[in-house]
Amino acid sequence: MRKILVALLTTIALHSYAQSPVASRLRGGFDVGLAIKNDYYNPSITYYQLINLGDQRLFSLGWTGRLGAFYGDNLNYYTAPARLTRGQAGLGSLGKSLLVQNIDTVRFDYVTMTSFNLGLRAQFNFGPVEVGASADLLGITLLRRYRTGRYRSSTGAFTAVDSLNREVQKPFQGPDAFQRARAQRWNLRLLGDNDYGMLATEVYARVRINQRFAVKAGYQWLTTEMVVDNRDVVADNNRFRNRTGFPYIALTLPIFY
Protein backbone atom coordinates (compact mmCIF):
# COMPACT_ATOMS: atom_id res chain seq x y z
CA MET A 1 0.00 0.00 0.00
CA ARG A 2 2.83 2.37 0.88
CA LYS A 3 4.51 1.77 -2.52
CA ILE A 4 1.27 2.46 -4.34
CA LEU A 5 0.77 5.69 -2.38
CA VAL A 6 4.33 6.86 -3.11
CA ALA A 7 3.94 6.09 -6.82
CA LEU A 8 0.61 7.95 -6.91
CA LEU A 9 2.03 11.02 -5.17
CA THR A 10 5.07 11.02 -7.48
CA THR A 11 2.85 10.86 -10.56
CA ILE A 12 0.71 13.72 -9.27
CA ALA A 13 3.81 15.82 -8.52
CA LEU A 14 5.31 15.25 -11.97
CA HIS A 15 2.00 16.02 -13.65
CA SER A 16 1.62 19.21 -11.61
CA TYR A 17 5.16 20.29 -12.52
CA ALA A 18 4.59 19.58 -16.20
CA GLN A 19 1.53 21.85 -16.09
CA SER A 20 3.27 24.61 -14.13
CA PRO A 21 4.24 27.95 -15.75
CA VAL A 22 7.95 27.11 -15.29
CA ALA A 23 7.73 23.73 -17.04
CA SER A 24 5.72 25.21 -19.90
CA ARG A 25 8.62 27.56 -20.63
CA LEU A 26 11.23 24.78 -20.70
CA ARG A 27 12.70 22.85 -23.60
CA GLY A 28 14.86 19.87 -22.78
CA GLY A 29 15.99 16.45 -23.87
CA PHE A 30 18.89 14.32 -25.02
CA ASP A 31 20.96 14.52 -28.21
CA VAL A 32 22.57 11.19 -29.15
CA GLY A 33 24.96 11.96 -31.98
CA LEU A 34 28.15 11.35 -33.92
CA ALA A 35 30.63 13.69 -35.60
CA ILE A 36 32.83 11.95 -38.16
CA LYS A 37 35.50 12.81 -40.75
CA ASN A 38 38.02 10.42 -42.28
CA ASP A 39 39.70 8.67 -39.32
CA TYR A 40 38.24 10.96 -36.64
CA TYR A 41 35.15 10.02 -34.60
CA ASN A 42 33.37 11.92 -31.83
CA PRO A 43 30.28 10.12 -30.44
CA SER A 44 28.43 12.02 -27.73
CA ILE A 45 25.35 12.15 -25.51
CA THR A 46 24.19 15.63 -24.53
CA TYR A 47 21.48 16.61 -22.07
CA TYR A 48 20.14 20.11 -22.64
CA GLN A 49 17.65 22.31 -20.82
CA LEU A 50 16.55 25.64 -22.27
CA ILE A 51 14.11 28.28 -21.13
CA ASN A 52 11.89 29.95 -23.72
CA LEU A 53 12.21 33.75 -23.65
CA GLY A 54 9.45 36.13 -24.69
CA ASP A 55 5.77 35.55 -25.31
CA GLN A 56 6.38 34.15 -28.79
CA ARG A 57 9.04 31.71 -27.54
CA LEU A 58 11.16 32.36 -30.61
CA PHE A 59 14.40 32.33 -28.63
CA SER A 60 15.66 29.88 -25.98
CA LEU A 61 18.74 29.99 -23.79
CA GLY A 62 20.10 27.36 -21.42
CA TRP A 63 22.76 24.87 -20.45
CA THR A 64 24.13 21.52 -21.59
CA GLY A 65 25.85 18.53 -20.03
CA ARG A 66 27.86 16.67 -22.65
CA LEU A 67 29.55 13.26 -22.40
CA GLY A 68 31.76 12.77 -25.45
CA ALA A 69 34.54 10.51 -26.66
CA PHE A 70 37.19 11.12 -29.30
CA TYR A 71 38.96 8.53 -31.45
CA GLY A 72 41.53 9.60 -34.01
CA ASP A 73 44.30 8.10 -36.15
CA ASN A 74 47.48 9.82 -37.41
CA LEU A 75 47.08 13.10 -35.56
CA ASN A 76 49.46 16.04 -35.24
CA TYR A 77 49.32 17.98 -31.97
CA TYR A 78 50.86 21.44 -31.91
CA THR A 79 52.27 23.71 -29.19
CA ALA A 80 49.27 24.87 -27.15
CA PRO A 81 49.96 27.82 -24.77
CA ALA A 82 49.06 31.25 -26.12
CA ARG A 83 52.24 32.77 -24.66
CA LEU A 84 54.17 30.65 -27.18
CA THR A 85 51.78 30.53 -30.14
CA ARG A 86 50.80 34.24 -30.04
CA GLY A 87 53.55 35.82 -27.95
CA GLN A 88 51.32 36.62 -24.98
CA ALA A 89 48.57 35.07 -22.88
CA GLY A 90 45.08 36.32 -22.02
CA LEU A 91 42.69 38.38 -24.12
CA GLY A 92 45.62 40.24 -25.65
CA SER A 93 46.52 37.10 -27.60
CA LEU A 94 43.25 37.16 -29.57
CA GLY A 95 43.84 38.34 -33.12
CA LYS A 96 47.63 38.06 -32.85
CA SER A 97 49.52 36.34 -35.65
CA LEU A 98 50.75 32.78 -35.17
CA LEU A 99 54.45 32.61 -34.24
CA VAL A 100 55.44 29.69 -36.45
CA GLN A 101 58.99 29.60 -35.07
CA ASN A 102 57.62 28.66 -31.63
CA ILE A 103 55.51 25.74 -32.82
CA ASP A 104 56.62 22.18 -32.06
CA THR A 105 54.71 19.05 -33.07
CA VAL A 106 53.93 15.70 -31.49
CA ARG A 107 52.50 13.10 -33.86
CA PHE A 108 50.40 10.20 -32.57
CA ASP A 109 49.35 7.09 -34.45
CA TYR A 110 46.20 6.82 -32.33
CA VAL A 111 44.50 8.97 -29.69
CA THR A 112 41.47 8.28 -27.49
CA MET A 113 39.87 10.28 -24.70
CA THR A 114 36.50 10.79 -23.02
CA SER A 115 35.24 13.95 -21.35
CA PHE A 116 32.24 15.39 -19.54
CA ASN A 117 31.63 19.13 -19.97
CA LEU A 118 29.05 21.71 -18.98
CA GLY A 119 28.21 24.35 -21.55
CA LEU A 120 25.83 26.97 -22.93
CA ARG A 121 23.27 26.70 -25.72
CA ALA A 122 21.25 29.35 -27.59
CA GLN A 123 18.45 28.46 -29.99
CA PHE A 124 15.91 30.06 -32.33
CA ASN A 125 12.57 28.26 -32.68
CA PHE A 126 10.57 28.31 -35.91
CA GLY A 127 7.78 25.82 -35.33
CA PRO A 128 9.11 22.31 -36.02
CA VAL A 129 12.51 23.72 -37.06
CA GLU A 130 15.09 24.84 -34.48
CA VAL A 131 18.45 26.50 -35.23
CA GLY A 132 21.11 27.05 -32.61
CA ALA A 133 24.65 26.83 -31.29
CA SER A 134 26.36 25.21 -28.29
CA ALA A 135 29.76 25.61 -26.63
CA ASP A 136 31.42 23.61 -23.87
CA LEU A 137 32.70 25.80 -21.04
CA LEU A 138 34.32 23.57 -18.43
CA GLY A 139 34.65 19.95 -17.45
CA ILE A 140 36.94 16.99 -16.91
CA THR A 141 38.57 14.43 -19.20
CA LEU A 142 38.26 10.78 -18.17
CA LEU A 143 39.99 7.57 -19.29
CA ARG A 144 43.32 9.33 -19.91
CA ARG A 145 45.27 6.53 -21.56
CA TYR A 146 48.98 6.98 -22.26
CA ARG A 147 50.09 7.14 -25.90
CA THR A 148 53.55 7.41 -27.42
CA GLY A 149 54.09 10.24 -29.86
CA ARG A 150 56.97 11.39 -32.03
CA TYR A 151 58.21 14.77 -30.77
CA ARG A 152 59.47 17.16 -33.46
CA SER A 153 61.44 20.15 -32.19
CA SER A 154 64.61 21.82 -33.44
CA THR A 155 65.43 23.49 -30.11
CA GLY A 156 63.55 21.58 -27.40
CA ALA A 157 65.20 19.54 -24.65
CA PHE A 158 64.14 17.73 -21.49
CA THR A 159 65.82 16.93 -18.19
CA ALA A 160 67.02 13.36 -17.59
CA VAL A 161 69.35 11.56 -15.19
CA ASP A 162 72.52 10.00 -16.62
CA SER A 163 74.39 6.89 -15.47
CA LEU A 164 76.26 8.94 -12.84
CA ASN A 165 72.96 10.14 -11.36
CA ARG A 166 73.49 13.64 -12.72
CA GLU A 167 70.77 15.77 -14.28
CA VAL A 168 71.44 16.48 -17.95
CA GLN A 169 69.46 18.07 -20.76
CA LYS A 170 68.69 15.85 -23.73
CA PRO A 171 67.20 16.97 -27.06
CA PHE A 172 64.03 15.39 -28.43
CA GLN A 173 65.99 13.52 -31.10
CA GLY A 174 66.79 9.94 -32.02
CA PRO A 175 65.25 7.45 -29.56
CA ASP A 176 64.35 10.37 -27.28
CA ALA A 177 61.97 11.75 -29.90
CA PHE A 178 59.42 9.14 -28.77
CA GLN A 179 57.64 10.54 -25.74
CA ARG A 180 54.75 9.40 -23.55
CA ALA A 181 51.70 11.64 -23.28
CA ARG A 182 48.08 11.56 -22.20
CA ALA A 183 45.04 13.81 -22.36
CA GLN A 184 44.79 17.02 -20.36
CA ARG A 185 42.62 16.34 -17.30
CA TRP A 186 40.84 19.70 -16.94
CA ASN A 187 38.81 21.40 -19.65
CA LEU A 188 38.29 25.17 -19.56
CA ARG A 189 37.27 27.63 -22.26
CA LEU A 190 39.27 30.85 -22.04
CA LEU A 191 39.04 31.79 -25.76
CA GLY A 192 41.52 31.14 -28.54
CA ASP A 193 44.83 29.52 -27.64
CA ASN A 194 44.12 30.17 -23.95
CA ASP A 195 41.77 27.15 -23.86
CA TYR A 196 42.57 23.99 -21.92
CA GLY A 197 41.62 20.41 -22.70
CA MET A 198 38.82 18.82 -24.72
CA LEU A 199 36.11 21.29 -25.78
CA ALA A 200 33.40 21.17 -28.44
CA THR A 201 31.53 23.95 -30.24
CA GLU A 202 28.68 23.32 -32.67
CA VAL A 203 26.09 24.97 -34.86
CA TYR A 204 23.01 22.98 -35.80
CA ALA A 205 19.51 22.74 -37.21
CA ARG A 206 16.90 20.38 -35.78
CA VAL A 207 13.62 19.17 -37.29
CA ARG A 208 10.98 17.70 -34.99
CA ILE A 209 9.43 14.55 -36.42
CA ASN A 210 6.90 14.19 -33.59
CA GLN A 211 6.74 14.74 -29.83
CA ARG A 212 9.12 11.84 -29.20
CA PHE A 213 11.79 12.25 -31.87
CA ALA A 214 13.70 14.92 -33.74
CA VAL A 215 16.62 14.82 -36.18
CA LYS A 216 19.54 17.18 -35.72
CA ALA A 217 22.38 17.98 -38.15
CA GLY A 218 25.19 20.48 -37.95
CA TYR A 219 28.91 21.13 -37.84
CA GLN A 220 31.18 20.65 -34.86
CA TRP A 221 34.60 22.02 -33.94
CA LEU A 222 36.50 19.91 -31.42
CA THR A 223 39.68 20.83 -29.55
CA THR A 224 41.66 18.10 -27.79
CA GLU A 225 44.88 18.40 -25.81
CA MET A 226 47.72 16.05 -24.88
CA VAL A 227 50.26 16.58 -22.08
CA VAL A 228 53.76 15.13 -22.56
CA ASP A 229 55.44 13.61 -19.49
CA ASN A 230 58.83 15.22 -20.19
CA ARG A 231 58.52 19.00 -20.22
CA ASP A 232 60.50 21.01 -22.76
CA VAL A 233 62.78 23.01 -20.44
CA VAL A 234 63.73 25.46 -23.20
CA ALA A 235 60.17 26.56 -24.02
CA ASP A 236 58.84 25.54 -20.57
CA ASN A 237 55.98 23.61 -22.19
CA ASN A 238 54.45 20.15 -22.29
CA ARG A 239 50.97 20.97 -23.68
CA PHE A 240 49.96 20.23 -27.28
CA ARG A 241 46.65 20.83 -29.05
CA ASN A 242 44.72 19.48 -32.02
CA ARG A 243 41.70 21.16 -33.62
CA THR A 244 39.30 19.22 -35.82
CA GLY A 245 36.10 20.24 -37.62
CA PHE A 246 33.57 17.73 -38.91
CA PRO A 247 29.89 17.18 -39.80
CA TYR A 248 27.60 16.12 -36.98
CA ILE A 249 24.28 14.26 -36.92
CA ALA A 250 22.11 13.28 -33.95
CA LEU A 251 18.79 11.88 -32.84
CA THR A 252 17.04 14.09 -30.28
CA LEU A 253 14.78 12.62 -27.60
CA PRO A 254 12.76 15.55 -26.17
CA ILE A 255 11.57 15.69 -22.57
CA PHE A 256 10.15 19.23 -22.56
CA TYR A 257 9.14 20.92 -25.82
In tens, the pLDDT along 169-199 reads 999 999 999 999 999 999 999 999 999 999 9
User: How would residue 4 be classed by pLDDT, with cut points 50, 70 and 90?
Assistant: very low
Indicate if the pLDDT at residue 28 is higher than 70: yes
Answer yes or no: is 5 within a domain.
no
Q: What is the pLDDT of residue 8?
A: 40
Here the CATH number for the domain that contains residue 87 is 2.40.160
Residues near 103 by Cβ (< 8 Å), separated by ≥ 6? 78, 79, 84, 85
Answer yes or no: is 104 within a domain.
yes
Rounded distance between C-alpha atoms, residue 125 and residue 54, angstroms: 12
Rounded distance between C-alpha atoms, residue 198 and residue 113, angstroms: 9
Q: What is the pLDDT of residue 123?
A: 97
* Top-confidence residue, 120 or 1: 120
* Residue range of the domain that includes 208: 26-152+179-256
Answer yes or no: is 91 within a domain.
yes
Answer yes or no: is 9 within a domain.
no
Arithmetic mean of pLDDT, 137-156: 95
User: How would residue 26 be classed by pLDDT, with cut points 50, 70 and 90?
Assistant: confident
* Top-confidence residue, 148 or 91: 148
Answer yes or no: is 14 within a domain.
no
Q: What is the pLDDT of residues 80-99, one digit of tens each?
A: 999 999 999 998 899 899 99
Answer yes or no: is 13 within a domain.
no
Indicate if the pLDDT at residue 14 is higher than 60: no
Arithmetic mean of pLDDT, 155-178: 90
* Top-confidence residue, 165 or 93: 93
Answer yes or no: is 15 within a domain.
no
Rounded distance between C-alpha atoms, residue 209 and residue 26, angstroms: 19
The chain-wide mean pLDDT, for the chain, equals 90
Residues near 232 by Cβ (< 8 Å), separated by ≥ 6? 104, 153, 156, 157, 158, 172, 238
Tell me the percentage of the chain whose pLDDT exceeds 70. 90
Q: What is the pLDDT of residues 34-62, one digit of tens each?
A: 999 989 999 999 999 999 998 788 999 99
Answer yes or no: is 138 within a domain.
yes
* Residue of 91, 123, 77, 117 whose CA lies nearest to 239: 77
Domains in the chain, number: 1
Q: Look up the pTM and report it.
A: 0.86
Rounded distance between C-alpha atoms, residue 18 and residue 81, angstroms: 47
